[in-house]
Amino acid sequence: MRPALEVADIVHAHGDEFRRAHAESLSAGQKRVLRNIERCRTAALGGHLERCDECGHERNAYNSCADRHCPKCQSIARAKWLEKRQAELLECEYFHVVFTPPAKLVALALQNKRQMYDLLFRATADTLQSIAADPEHLGAQIGFFCILHSWGQTLNFHPHLHCVVPGGGISLDGSRWVACRPHFFLPVKVLSRRFRKLYLRYLEHAYATKKLQFYGELQPLSDPKNFARYLKPLRDHEWVVYAKSPFGGPKKVLDYLGRYTHRVAISNNRLKELKDGQVSFAYKDYKHEHRQKLMTLPADEFLRRFLLHVLPNSFQRIRHYGLLSNRHRGENLTRCRELLGTPAPVPEPRRDYRDRIQQLGGHDPLLCPQCKSGKMLRIDPLCIAGLIQYGDTP
């Protein structure tokens, strides 16, 4: 069912005005996202005719834009990704660890997204693997994956990494499975200090090799002395590494991932009203017991905040490390299961990705909206006839 209000509606109503007001500051990627959201599931992208196999009801089904920033396009991507992950889960406890750089680095990250995001992934991965390999802690090779989020509940810029980690790993000599203590992965304070040390080391190297750019208020940081003064306070403060409650077994991990992996900055379901150029949306106030509240912003400010989270071109926001790295994942998982004494998962019958969408969202995307019992089947392409019918041009 289509939400009462979508990001696309806001772009349709205020996108042209927003483009004119920010013509000099919008990147090519941000302009492309606006254009894709406008065209998504409209005749501009073509489509096909669907007909119910029971009552004969017909509807035009227009193609999606497939943009990873589009709220309407994530269900399919998420369903396909989860199908691949299901066979990779191990029979052990799983942990959720969040790494967040200090707020002082936010402005620098906004001007250097690709570089600062890469540093965040690198420092996080090296922190987890080095502390886990230390015999004083776990003494094992671990595997995990990280998911980049760049937003807070009010669409402010807040880059951080969510890491999903099995509760154990293969001993350093490869002979046995080393399990974490029940409900405890690694000490957060140790992780935090290693993360701080590595991130700042990598950041200084990026600066020394001239991979960072500085504009506007950050222009003085081009001077090495100013940059050193800028970093100095960061060395003395504790950085935020947050270990959430453990997931439990693999089933709970998959349920969590189904809600979390392919999020965009804001879902259409959180949008409440567009009136008189003002956008109202729901958010959780984490500082006040996660209370549900309503925020209202001018449409221009809403779109500005939304576009803060457009990723650099081809940037990979979900990455696998250690035992789960792409190159040797299959053989590492086989070895883990041997050491755990658990059988390889029985492959499930191949399912249509829409079955997974139904499982995740609680609705069947092919259910006939008219008779509520039949299935909508694809009949004819609309990429030409449909466009002529509605008077549109490709």
pTM comes to 0.88
Domains and CATH numbers, the chain: 7-70+361-389 (no CATH), 88-265+308-340 (3.40.1310)
At residue 190, φ and ψ (nearest 5 deg) are -65, -45
Alpha carbon of residue 351 to chain centroid = 24
pLDDT tens per residue across span 229-281: 999 999 989 999 998 877 777 777 877 777 777 788 999 999 999 999 999 99
| Phi-psi label, residue 66: left if phi above 0, alpha if psi -120 to 50, beta otherwise | left
**Average pLDDT over the chain, rounded to whole?**
88
**Both tokens of residue 247?**
């997931």
What whole-number distance in Å separates Cα of residue 16 and Cα of residue 372?
A: 39
What whole-number distance in Å separates Cα of residue 277 and Cα of residue 303?
A: 12
In Å, the largest CA–CA distance within the chain is 74
Residue 147 has pLDDT above 90, yes or no: yes
pLDDT tens per residue across span 160-203: 999 999 999 999 999 999 999 888 999 999 999 999 999 999 99
Residue 344 contacts residue 16 (beta carbons within 8 Å)? no
Residue 356 has pLDDT above 60, yes or no: no
Pairing state between β 58-62 and 143-151: unpaired
**Both tokens of residue 196?**
């701080």
